[in-house]
Structures are given as C-alpha cells and as structure tokens.
Amino acid sequence: MKMKIKQVAELVGISVRTLHHYDEIGLLTPEETTDAGYRYYSEQNLETLQQILFFKELDFPLKEIKEILSDPSFDRQQALQLHRKLLLEKRERIDQMIATIDKTTQYVKGEIHMSNEEKFKGFNFSHNPYEEEARKLWGAKAVDQSNASFKNNAVGEKMNDIYRKLADLRNTPPESTEAQTAISEWYEFLNTQTGHHYSLEAFKGLGQMYVADERFTTNIDQFGAGLAQFMCEAMTFFADNNEQ
C-alpha cells in the first residue's frame, strides 16, 4: 500500500513541499525511493507523520520532534497521553478566550468595566506553562541522557541547580523553612527566567502535574527518587501559605 507524495499530502492536509522539507531534514524519510527519484510512503511512514503532526500542533520545533521520535526510549503511549492533557488545556484556554471576547463585547458597548489584565486573559502566551515545562524536561532528555546541550545555556544550568538543591532536601518535611526557601527560589526562577507569570494557583497546579504525569515524574526523579512527590507537596504548601 505505498502512497505517492501527493496522496499523502492530501490525506493529511499538508503541502507536497512540506513533505519534501521533512525528507530534506531527515524528519520523515519515505520508505522507498524509485530510480526516478519518486518518493513512496508506507503505512509506517504515515504513522510517524501522525506523531509529527501531534507534536507540531503543540508547537514543538521540527528539530525537537526529530530528536524525540528518534529517541529509542520514546514511548508512543505516554506521548499520546501527554498530548491529550495538553490539548485539554489548550481547549480551556480557548474557553478563556471566548469568555474574554464576550466580556469585551459588553465592554465595547460600555456595559461593564474591564481591567487590563482581563482584556488579555487567555491570550497570554501562545502556549501554556505546562507545555513549556514539558518541552524542557522532555526535550532535555531526548537530546542527551546527560542533558549535555541543556547545560550549555544558563537557564538550564540554573534550573538544574535548583533541582539538585531540592533533591538534597527531599527527605526533610516539605513544610520546613529550608524546603520552602528552596521552593520559593523555584517559584522566583519560573517567574523571572521563563518569561511567564505563574500565579500561586498555577504554581500549585504545576506541582500536581509533576506527580500526575509520569513523564514529568520520571524526568524529575532523575535528580533523586521521590523528588517529584516532594516538590509537589512543597509547592502546594507554598501556594496555600502565601495567599493573601
């Protein structure tokens, strides 16, 4: 059941040029190439393409997608589950935007007032914070088991520092002053270095994702077994205790 390039393009709704491009960069090499140079795609190729589009939908750059897919430890099921989760969040953001639009409609009419923050609710950052985190952790792992390329940048380095510091504390109570200081550093870091603002609620949610999603858990626990759980608890405590 080999398919020619245009058939594939039409089936999945992308251009022929795009498939050429994916071949060029080695992201999707057709299973067979005839003597005339014609590309023929197999069933397997289609499945890979599906994966590629899943990742693309979540704005992963092609380079990363390539690395992730070629990682022998890549687990399709896990990937699918994470995607599901991220899509659900994307949907929530759309709901937010719709709400913002509705509010704006009233605002334009002069019926209500809107704060500046409200005017941009849901439109803030095109991808959500979890996604950002996922990219870092997952990407980092995919590139190199020892995080080589990740360490090359200052942000990644500092991030690892904090993880390590927290790992050292993971057997103390999460409410301890030391743990809370380290966690507040983490909170600070996220808010200053990632360019996104995390509300305390979001921060708490992020912590919960650390244990709810195996991908996160696995990656975080590389710094020390049980770190994800510890961070989750410490983050929850931090969030609950710093509300005003």
User: Least distance to a second copy from the beta carbon of 138, Å?
Assistant: 17
Query: Of 204, 205, 208, 199, which Cα lies nearest the Cα of 229?
Result: 208
Long-range contacts of 135-144 (CB under 8 A, 24+ apart): 135/60, 135/64, 137/215, 137/216, 137/219, 137/220, 138/68, 138/82, 138/215, 138/219, 139/60, 139/64, 139/67, 139/68, 140/219, 141/71, 141/73, 141/219, 142/64, 142/67, 142/68, 142/71, 142/74, 143/67
Considering only the stretches 97-105, 170-178, 200-208, 220-228, report the one whose residues sit in contact with a second copy under the rule CB under 8 A.
Answer: 97-105
**Minimum CB distance to a second copy smaller for 18 or for 181:** 18
Say which entry of a second copy, DNA, none residue 113 contacts (CB below 5 to 8 A, set by partner kind): none
Determine contact, residues 42/1, Cβ cutoff 8 Å: yes
Say which entry of DNA, a second copy, none residue 106 contacts (CB below 5 to 8 A, set by partner kind): none
Determine contact, residues 202/224, Cβ cutoff 8 Å: no
**Minimum CB distance to a second copy smaller for 191 or for 218:** 191
The footprint of DNA (CB under 7 A) covers: 4-7, 14-18, 20-21, 34-39, 56, 61-63
125 belongs to the binding site for a second copy (CB under 8 A): yes
Looking at residues 150 to 209 of the shown chain, list those that interact with a second copy (rule: CB under 8 A): 195-197
**Minimum CB distance to a second copy smaller for 108 or for 225:** 108
User: Least distance to DNA from the beta carbon of 197, Å?
Assistant: 13
With CB under 8 A, what is the number of residues at the site for a second copy? 42
What is the number of alpha carbons within 13 Å of residue 134 lying toward its C-beta?
Answer: 24
User: Least distance to a second copy from the beta carbon of 74, Å?
Assistant: 13
User: Least distance to a second copy from the beta carbon of 156, Å?
Assistant: 19
Query: What's the gap between Cα 204 and its chain centre?
Result: 17
20 belongs to the binding site for a second copy (CB under 8 A): no
Distance between the two ends of the chain, CA-based, in angstroms? 63
Instruction: Give the Cα separation of 159 and 149 in Å (integer).
Output: 14
Considering only the stretches 83-91, 177-185, 206-214, 219-227, report the one whose residues sit in contact with a second copy under the rule CB under 8 A.
Answer: 83-91
Instruction: Give the Cα separation of 235 and 233 in Å (integer).
Output: 5
80 belongs to the binding site for a second copy (CB under 8 A): yes
Instruction: Give the Cα separation of 58 and 63 in Å (integer).
Output: 14
Question: For binding to a second copy (CB under 8 A), which residues are involved?
Answer: 10-13, 15, 46-47, 50, 53-54, 57, 76-77, 80-81, 83-84, 87-88, 90-91, 94-95, 97-98, 101-102, 104-105, 108-109, 116-117, 119-120, 123-126, 195-197
